[in-house]
Amino acid sequence: MKFLTLIVAIMLISGCAVASLAGTVVSTTVKVVEVPFKIVGSVIDDNDEEENEKEDDN
């Protein structure tokens, strides 16, 4: 009976570990995907600011 309880407990703990790992992988993947969009957005913002400064100077 103790063996069966131990096996069930290990299965539950490993299930939680798998769910936690999957959540971490998804979170990391989302952050990696966000980086190029942030870089492109900052480049576009910089270009817009430069154009606005040129227009203000003229």
pLDDT in tens, 24-48: 777 877 787 777 777 777 777 777 6
Residues 47 and 57: their CA atoms lie apart, in Å, by 15
- For 1-29, the pLDDT digits (tens) are 788 888 787 777 777 667 777 777 778 77
Beta strands in 6-52 (DSSP E): none
pLDDT score recorded for residue 23: 77
pTM of the entire predicted model: 0.42
Residues 13 and 9: their CA atoms lie apart, in Å, by 6
